Structure 1
Amino acid sequence: MRNIFILLILIGFTAPLSAQEPITITMANVFGDTPEGRMPTHTPRIQELFAAKVDEYTDGQVKWNILRGKQQGGISVFRSPGLTAEGDQIQATNVPAFFLPRVPEIGIQSIPFLFDGAEHSRRFMNSEPANWLSKKIEETYGVKVLGHFYNAAFISVNGVTPIREPEDFADKIVNGFDKSWAPIWTNIVPKERRFIGTQDAWTGALVKPDSDFDINIGMIQNNHRQRLHERFKHTTLVENFYNIFYTMMINRYIWDGMTDFQRAGIEKAVKEAQNASIAYQLDTTLWALQLNQSEGTEMHILTSDERARWKAEFYPKMLDAVAEKSANPSETREMIKKIEALADDLRWQ
């Protein structure tokens, strides 16, 4: 009888905990599905993995509800310069461009050849400079940054003629890079620079019969859907011409309302998703590379010597531009040096 009485007491204490409703975070994808069924970026795959790991590591106390495609309809979307959200409905993964108007330091990711390979990018995601950027985003928008995820580093320079040297951009009509990239064209001046975004390019805007573009710069995984092989017969793959790390965040009040156990589970899930984002990005790049080759495009991977010449031309100009736009140029330059130092032991001596 005594044992039964103790058991009833224990059940009485645990029943309210087991009946507690899980916290649900509703999140929209940055991009939806493609008609071909393969994402133009691997970000949704990372989100799905992250959601599963959050459920596992919080014992089901936190649920990540990912909306896909047309389901996103009524969800508030984060657009610069403000953050809009309704309750727990927040688009929680965003590209760097959304932050630029109020956190110009995020432009560090746009410095050509600052990063040097996938391992360098992996080290960056939880480094002091990454945490520094997270803090700026948190203070500016009143959110909790969960982490940065590797999205793109293999940049496709598509030309109607081969593009091997920086001088090959001169006197060409170029699509790629918005006005924030103007500083890199100080010495080498294209005939004209325009910017047709990803969504318009998906409709074939770059390959219409009357298209006069000589060069397009973008992510290699977008080439197929944009049908670039119809006009641009030469592709140069330029690793780290720029890098994109997507930033995942949630409303601050939701984070503050969680238990230590729940927050620890989410942080563990973030680290696993960050590591997976490296493998996913490389997988997507290899898939895109093979697909581009099968479409008859002449592929060229930038050599070490060519990369050195591209870096000498473009790197210092963009570094100076990003630093000078920041709130504290000297601090920003110091963080850039720390990013460079993350790869010191990876380089051939």
Structure 2
Amino acid sequence: MKMRTMALGATLAAALATGASAETLRFGHYANTSDTPHKAAEMFAWIVDNMTGGDLTVEIYPAGELGNSANSLQGARLGTIDITVTGNPYFTSFAPQVNVLDLPFLFESPEHAYRVLDGEVGEELMTSINEVGLQGLAFWEIGFRNLTNNERPINTPADLEGLKLRTTPNPAHIEAFTILGANPAPMPFAELYSALQTGTVDGQENPTTHIYHSNFHEVQKYLSITEHAYTAAPLVMNQAKFDGLPEDQQEALKVAGKIAAAYERELNRVLETSSLEAMKAAGVEIVMEPDVAAFRELVAEKTRAMYAEKFGDDLLVKIDALAPSAQ
């Protein structure tokens, strides 16, 4: 009996010790619960929990509950929240080199983007993020961006003339739409539905899955599949918080981030077709083959030159070398 009591006591002590060391991380992001970033966040949390035996858990706060994208990113830097994921353009003010990923018509395909993000260039860009109080865990994605608006179908650059479009805060995006004759209006993603509904802006540009799962098709009449830019979404964590975790938990966060990235990418590919079909059924007029070459001719070289003037062309050369057409 004494031995059994001692064994039970030891088991209880171990359980209490485990409970004392357990930690919960707060993960805030911008996306709705039906959208793929949230699905990836759920996968990420599940993997972390399982890899650490419950010693490290992740609580997810979707749809801007902990602040819009800019505020969440700043919160992760300051440590008021632990983890966030948001579009690459929101890193502009403190890690501007990563804006190379957002240049119009930079990537030939999703596979081209993934070669870049998962290789040497991605590591170099993540290092620049790590230098500003954030630990980069993985590159998730927003995806290839397409245009919607309430005024007219967009077939050529001329059709954009005078349209007020919500864009990201990336200087290359703003410059590109200015060249194309639109009036770019950066604003937080969380404010966009209302802005479209009230006519504060005429349109916006986001990947097909984002457009559908954010219900923008309810307040937009026209969609053009321009795929004019790709947007990555770095998954980042407060650096001090990360550094304070045991090595096995740090490794779990990195592994979970990369697995969830692959999961999100696959979800986006699968859902693109169904999202298009659903929006067409809802009455959105879709231009499947706008004159993409005309858009590219006007903005691609000018925005690349603008980036190269500030940061050089080393990364651009490396990215071009990974294109399918260069293999």
Could you tell me the TM-score, scaled by structure 2's length? Answer: 0.80
Work out the CA distance in 1 between the residues paired with 2:84 and 2:112. 25
| Residues 1:182 and 1:271: Cα distance change in structure 2 (over 3 Å) | closer
2:165 to 161, 175, 189: 175
- Could you tell me how far 1:145 is from its partner in structure 2? 0.9
- Could you tell me how far 1:229 is from its partner in structure 2? 6.0
CA RMSD, Structure 1 to Structure 2 (Å): 3.5
| Residues 1:17 and 1:318: Cα distance change in structure 2 (over 3 Å) | farther
Q: Which residue of 2 aligns with 1:222?
A: 211
1:84 to 78, 84, 88: 78
1:133 to 125, 131, 145: 125
- Could you tell me how far 1:315 is from its partner in structure 2? 1.0
Is contact 1:229-1:296 (8 Å) kept? no
Q: Rg larger in 1 or in 2?
A: 1
Q: Which residue of 2 aligns with 1:163?
A: 154
Give ranges in structure 1 of 5+ residues lacking alignment: none
Is contact 2:25-2:83 (8 Å) kept? no
Within 5 Å, which residues of 2 pair with 1:166-245? 166-169=157-160, 171-177=161-167, 180=171, 181-184=173-176, 188-190=180-182, 192-195=183-186, 198-203=189-194, 205-208=195-198, 211=199, 216-220=204-208, 221-222=210-211, 228=217, 232=221, 234-239=222-227, 241-245=228-232
Is contact 2:145-2:226 (8 Å) kept? yes
- Could you tell me how far 1:324 is from its partner in structure 2? 3.0
Is 1:118 aligned to residue 110 of structure 2? yes
Equivalent pairs, count = 315
Is contact 2:45-2:57 (8 Å) kept? yes
> Secondary structure of 2:43's match?
helix
Is contact 1:32-1:68 (8 Å) kept? yes
Greater fraction helix? 2
Is 1:287 aligned to residue 308 of structure 2? no
Within 5 Å, which residues of 2 pair with 1:1-349? 19-20=17-18, 21-33=21-33, 38-39=34-35, 42-68=36-62, 72=66, 77-79=71-73, 83-86=77-80, 89-140=81-132, 142-158=133-149, 160-169=151-160, 171-177=161-167, 180=171, 181-184=173-176, 188-190=180-182, 192-195=183-186, 198-203=189-194, 205-208=195-198, 211=199, 216-220=204-208, 221-222=210-211, 228=217, 232=221, 234-239=222-227, 241-302=228-289, 306-325=291-310, 329-330=311-312, 333-344=313-324, 347=325
> Secondary structure of 2:237's match?
strand
Q: Is the deviation greater in 58-67 or in 126-135?
A: 58-67
- Percent identity over the alignment is 19
**CA-to-partner distance for each residue in 1:232-278, whole Å, 9 max, x for gaps?**
3x321122x12222111222233223333333333222221111121
Work out the CA distance in 1 between the residues paired with 2:168 and 2:256. 34
Could you tell me the TM-score, scaled by structure 1's length? Answer: 0.76
- Could you tell me how far 1:281 is from its partner in structure 2? 1.7
Work out the CA distance in 1 between the residues paired with 2:193 and 2:85. 22
